[in-house]
Chains A and B, each alone.
Chain A
Amino acid sequence: MARQEPKERRRILKFEDVSLVFEEGPPVLDGVSFEIWSGETRILLGAAGAGKTVMMKIALGLLRPTKGKVYVFGEDVTGFDERKWFDVRSYIGVLFQEGGLFDSLTVEENVAYPLLNQARFMTEGRKPTVDSVRPDVQEALNFVELGETLSKFPSELSGGMRRRVGIARGSVTDPELFLYDSPTAGLDPITANTIITLLIKDRALRNTTTAIITHRFQDGHLLANFRYNPESQRLEKLPAGSPFLERTKFMVMQEGRLVFEGTEAELAVSQDPYISKFSMHPATKVS
């Protein structure tokens, strides 16, 4: 099921001087520019209210920037209408901060939802049926180790399980880009590490370009320094000098502005008091 790693690297997401101002108040996003290339992992750090979620919603076309340009999969999507966005979004997996699971639907129906509703999975204008997508749904749920919960409702699950259902729903479409909004927020450290392990596994098996919003530095550290080995089925630490270390970059947001972009090493030596807050707990704490 792994996507072959493409020989040429593609520009998956690009923001060009993007700003967003709501009717009242200061800009929520202020002249943000960055690029994410295929195969990369991007860790987005920042205090609450810094504009991380807003940035993710702009990348999904759920919010429209007031200024600047957005490119997704190399295409300028800035002026796209909702219908065109539906097509773009069907190649993006997303886990919302608040979960975004439909609480009137079962776990199975939640995970099947994108397959049943996105045009790219229709054959000759026909929607697939719940039965026809069941194997894919089962596989996605097995991946997050919730293969037994098909007929449960989200309200019957724990916080960590709901996140995992969200991950299954995002990955069932085999997206090229996966956006995770605070996947570990509000979870105990053990569950949080399980979730990050899942992300690392997903990244390895599907070769998905990944962007993660978090305020736990440990999450970023794990994602930057570990990879999943399919043979041993375990995480292993990347050796020093591994080219994969370069694949994970960190960004720090402060009040709508992007104030840092670089590797974990660069983040660790930053002298800025705000930026260094996000690297205070060094590697030794995580095992």
Chain B
Amino acid sequence: MLAGRATANIVRRPFYGQDLILQMDMIGVGSLPITVLIGFFSGVIMALQMSRALSQYGATGQVGQITAITLVREMGPVLTALLIAGRNASGIASELGSMKVSEQIDAMRALGTDPVKKLVTPRLLAMCVTLPLLTIIADFVGLIGGYMVAVPLLRLTTGSQYWNNAWRSLEYNDIAQGLLKPFLFAIIIALVGCLYGMRTSGGTQGVGKATTQAVVVASVWIFIVTAVITRIFVNL
């Protein structure tokens, strides 16, 4: 229901543009450094792990392909989403939860604004725009991480071979699920954060509880959804 109302509000006036920009800044720009860091190291780890397996088969040239596929299909979207769930599902839930217990949400309704429109819609939209972008950045930085391991560090392959191999291995299919997933994760994170925040009761203690629950529930749903999507795409 919350999802329906929040989505319907996208096309309904009044439109709170300032709130949207503010949220995009908080989620996107605020999460950029940590996303880059995690993306880089997941690429590094992938390449390191694969180097042993691949050298057993004498297929070290394929390191680019393996890194690219695992990053784009799964690691990039899921790791970024878990990161953002930890950082922003909690942030959203605690912010809205504090507003709930200090009766700011009641005050909004009493003073002529719809809290779903004013609070949920901008967060949902901002998340849907920024999470896929952050994922793309994480994927790309991860590939660079993989390159650092594969080429200068372990000399598994040449630079041009790595990038060629990585680039050609990615099919339309991989890109599609690599972008569909963060989009769905964004919806999960934003709505779970908002829902648990707005349902908070029981003072500051309740805010803590809502925050923790939001992160746990969002993370679990991220895993369920990625399993379902992967299952669908494997069959395609």
On A, residues with C-beta under 8 Å from B are 57, 60, 62, 82, 85-86, 89-90, 92, 94, 96-103, 113-114, 117-119, 127, 169
Contacts and interface: CB of A to CB of B under 8 A. Distances in A.
Contacts of A169: 111
Interface string B89-116: 0000000000001111011111111100
A60 B112 contact: no
B103 A96 contact: yes
A94 B110 contact: yes
A62 B110 contact: yes
B111 A113 contact: yes
Q: Is the interface of A mostly helix, strand, loop or mixed?
A: mixed
A125 B212 CA distance: 42
11 contacts: A86-B112, A89-B111, A99-B103, A102-B104, A113-B111, A114-B111, A114-B112, A117-B112, A118-B111, A119-B112, A169-B111
Nearest to B22: A104
B112 A89 contact: yes
A114 B102 CA distance: 18
B106 A118 contact: no
Nearest to A121: B112
B123 to A, nearest CB: 14
B1 to A, nearest CB: 13
A101 B107 CA distance: 8
A75 B232 CA distance: 55
Contacts of B109: 60, 62, 82, 85, 89
Nearest to B19: A104
A98 B102 contact: yes
Contacts of A113: 111
A98 B111 contact: no
Contacts of B106: 57, 60, 62, 96, 100
A102 B112 contact: no
A100 B115 CA distance: 13
